[in-house]
Amino acid sequence: MAETAELNLPGGQSISLPIFEGTEHEKAFDIGKLRDATGYVTLDSGYKNTGATKSAITFLDGEEGILRYRGYPIEQLAEKSSFLEVAYLLIYGKLPTETELKDFSGHITKHTLVHEDIRKIFDGFPSATHPMAILSSLTCVLTGFYPDSLNPNQSTEEIDLTIVRLLAKMSTIAAWTYKNSVGHPLNYPRNDLDYCANFLYMMFSFPTEKYEVNPVIVSALNKLLILHADHEQNCSTSTVRLVGSANASLYGSVSAGINALWGPLHGGANQEVIEMLEAIERDGGDTSKFIAKAKDKNDPFRLMGFGHRVYKNFDPRAKIIKVAADEVLKALGLQDSPLLKIAQELEQAALTDQYFIDRKLYPNVDFYSGIIYKALGIPTEMFTVMFALGRLPGWIAQWKEMRENKEPIGRPRQIYVGETERDYVGIGERA
């Protein structure tokens, strides 16, 4: 017999709440019938203690530093998989066979080219437009080029095509967003390159010179995208699911997720890392001064990229990407860069200073990803675009799972704290 919990309410009223247990032994009270049976709702600001859905995509244990996609440890996937292989895993629930991966990758390569009218739309954005505004706008604009995506009753084949188009075209749009921001000519995708190499080509090649793809950088980008591919029910993912629950198209839902990620409390952490390092450099580069400021509870200064609101011990992604960061810096000859020297000193302090060890303020994935992006010459305003490109498979998988489970439209409740009923007062009689 399933476990239940008894909730006793004022006036002698009570209700038995079923206890639901997930496959990793997480437990939850099922309050689905609470309001209808008792008139009560729960109050949980920010939904920090509320399971809004059952999901089979990602398991995250912040206490133990565990992250798994569909049961596979992130460490194994980052070491052995390609980004598109992980995308397939997240979206379709299993690792692809060799034939399935070849077909999936081939279809994405075929659809990386975007309509020429999208290129014209770039000209309409002011030069100072933030890249995330362009990315979210053009993702939503794809509904205009593929209006069949608006049909909530698309067939499985039609949904698969929409998924492929989005995975393919976002890489081109993201690269073009960068090129547009710096006033460079746009590069068309190359079908002879894999996903990550093609993206780097569109970002950094010039018509006047031959672009050589650096395998170390391709490998680092592949790992970065994998590590960011999904992270359970975070703000942007919850946004994608909530918007999608209204039967919004995949393009519209992901566009909403991009805007949620744009918020500095969500996707801006790696940008804040570089801004912090640059501020320390401008001040003279004395890291001991800023470490002391970070320890001073009366000082507002905070070390960005250390600790994590979910991972209470260590961020499992950070250990993986640290190795890639070291490889990239060595490959580019940037080991002695003043900015990166500051980063290394802060990293060493966090790993050896008892103050940080006691508080588990270890470097997280944003710390190292920011360093890699800076080393590659990617502007800080583009960092969140890179985050969005990596998170795309997770958003797609979550939208698809929500649709397949026929989940109801999201409709959170509230506790009203405003004025009680009062009569209208004419404008001439108001104080």
Distance CA 175, CA 179 (A): 6
Question: DSSP character for 409?
Answer: P
Distance CA 212, CA 201 (A): 8
Q: Are strands 14-21 and 27-29 parallel, antiparallel or unpaired?
A: antiparallel
Of the candidates 308, 326, 336, 353, the residue annotated as catalytic is 308
Q: How many residues does the chain have?
A: 431
What torsion, rounded to 10 degrees, do the Cα atoms 343, 349, 355, 357 define? 90
308 carries an active-site annotation: yes
* Cross-strand bridge partners of residue 363: 306
CA 108 to the chain's CA centroid = 21
Lookup: tokens for 378 = 């990617």
Question: DSSP character for 374?
Answer: H
Of the candidates 228, 230, 315, 366, the residue annotated as catalytic is 366
Judge whether 220 and 325 are in contact, CB under 8 Å.
Answer: yes
CA atoms within 13 A on the CB side of 106: 6
123 carries an active-site annotation: no
For residue 368, which of 394, 344, 338 has the smallest C-alpha distance? 344
Distance CA 26, CA 137 (A): 38
The total of other beta-carbon atoms located within 10 Å of residue 185's CB is 10
Judge whether 359 and 258 are in contact, CB under 8 Å.
Answer: no
Residues involved in catalysis: 308, 366
